[in-house]
Amino acid sequence: MSSTPDVYAYDRADAPADALRLHLNEHTGGCSPAVVEAIARVSRETIAKYPDYTRVTQAVADHLDVPPARVVLTNGLDEGIFAAALAQLRATPGVAAGLARQAGIGPDAARGASPAPTSGDLSEAVIIEPAFGMYADAVEAVGGTVVRVMPGPELSLDREAIAAAVTPRTGVLFIASPGNPSGISLTRDEVAWLSSILPPGALLLLDEAYVEFGGESAIPLIDTYPNMVVGRTFAKAYGLAGMRVGALVGREDVITRMRRVLPPYSLNVFVVAALEAALADRAYMDDYRAQVRESRALLYAACDRWGLPYVRSEANFVLVRAGNRRQALLDGLQARNIYIRDRDSQPGCQGCVRVTTGLVAHTRACIDAMEEILCARA
């Protein structure tokens, strides 16, 4: 029996601390040195006080070119996803009262009131596959119903299937642009169409966790599509995954709804200092983005040599269609202490692996190892 408790409710796809981690789409070069310096400057007095988010929210708003009232900071984008699910899918007062009566609590319990509503009263969330697993986790955690839509050819949007999945019970539709694990960005026309098919009161959550690496942000379209909220993270391009900081961006009325279900102090003072420093060091982020672009090109060229199809990506990773060579690559790389992500079980991704493309030196090391494995197998 292991002496180490399992404190996680999901598969973390962990790797040794000394491994080359190309499986979680982390910033492979680490955060800006300015972030570490800013954290070190946080005083004892600051730690003793509740954090003030005024300045950092303004910094994020300036970075995204929106008013601060349109931004709410979250403890990682995961918390933003949970907030959207909770705000959109939590039980209505009638449902909540019914559940209370069923549990034998509340003022109506002793009167033998009618039983709790059936599952038909629960709100639904449409999730377009392949998708980030946290969407479904959040929906199920708040008691919503997950409605999954399979991808079209080449991981495209199946508009007919999506339109059929959206009903008057739809409370939120989750989709990422660029997508994970595809790396494919939505077009402006696709964003407009997704917004247009939702019923009144429903929300389109557009996850832009990877938009710094390619594609076009939909944030300028918030007034055009008032039922849209955009999710952002500072984990990927800024190297703050360990700090847990994200944001939701939308119209003031939408962001007000999100604030009502979020804790008042989601970010600690070290995270505030780290985020301000990361945003200020734009040159560091720009250099990393350039390395990501070069790394993607290197991996494309290598896959072309090996005859491995891949999906052209606008994110910091590439989905490689390894087919019957998938397991050999996974096992061979792990034996060399290099970790990539197996995506074979996701819809539309059979035989696929996902490779993070970060620092060029790391990508070259991975390509060299993949070459050894594939040549040995040939």
Q: Identify whether residues 216 and 319 lie together within a single domain.
A: no
Q: Identify whether residues 353 and 206 lie together within a single domain.
A: no
Q: Tell me the average pLDDT across 250-259.
A: 97
Is-contact 195 204, C-beta < 8 A?
yes
23-35 confidence digits (pLDDT tens) = 999 999 999 999 9
| Per-residue pLDDT at 110 exceeds 60 | no
Q: Identify whether residues 73 and 197 lie together within a single domain.
A: yes
Q: What is the pTM of this model?
A: 0.88
Do the domain assignments include residue 257?
yes
Q: Which residue intervals of the chain are DSSP H helices?
A: 33-40, 44-47, 54-64, 76-89, 93-103, 133-141, 159-165, 188-196, 252-261, 269-280, 282-306, 326-335, 360-377
| Per-residue pLDDT at 324 exceeds 90 | yes
Looking at residue 197, its pLDDT comes to 98
Position 50 confidence tier, pLDDT thresholds 50, 70, 90:
very high
Which domain CATH number covers 310?
A: 3.90.1150.10
Question: Which residues, 6 or more positions from 259, have their beta carbon under 8 angstroms from its beta carbon?
Answer: 72
Question: Could you list the residue range(s) of the whole structural domain that residue 234 is in?
Answer: 33-280
Domain final residue, candidates 227, 251, 280: 280
| Per-residue pLDDT at 262 exceeds 50 | yes
Do the domain assignments include residue 210?
yes
- Of residues 214 and 119, more confidence is placed in 214
Q: Identify whether residues 107 and 48 lie together within a single domain.
A: yes
Q: Identify whether residues 200 and 312 lie together within a single domain.
A: no
- Of residues 108 and 246, more confidence is placed in 246
| Per-residue pLDDT at 113 exceeds 50 | no
| Per-residue pLDDT at 176 exceeds 80 | yes
Q: Identify whether residues 310 and 239 lie together within a single domain.
A: no
CA 151 from chain centre, in angstroms, equals 18
Half-sphere exposure of 124 (CA within 13 A, CB side): 17
| Per-residue pLDDT at 112 exceeds 50 | no
Domain final residue, candidates 246, 280, 314: 280
Do the domain assignments include residue 6?
no
Which domain CATH number covers 273?
A: 3.40.640.10
Q: Identify whether residues 173 and 293 lie together within a single domain.
A: no
| Per-residue pLDDT at 92 exceeds 90 | no
Position 10 confidence tier, pLDDT thresholds 50, 70, 90:
low
Domain final residue, candidates 280, 303, 338: 280
Looking at residue 102, its pLDDT comes to 36
311-320 confidence digits (pLDDT tens) = 999 999 999 9
Q: Identify whether residues 205 and 339 lie together within a single domain.
A: no
| Per-residue pLDDT at 8 exceeds 50 | no
Q: Identify whether residues 84 and 122 lie together within a single domain.
A: yes
| Per-residue pLDDT at 203 exceeds 80 | yes
| Per-residue pLDDT at 106 exceeds 60 | no
Number of structural domains found in the chain = 2
Q: Identify whether residues 287 and 273 lie together within a single domain.
A: no
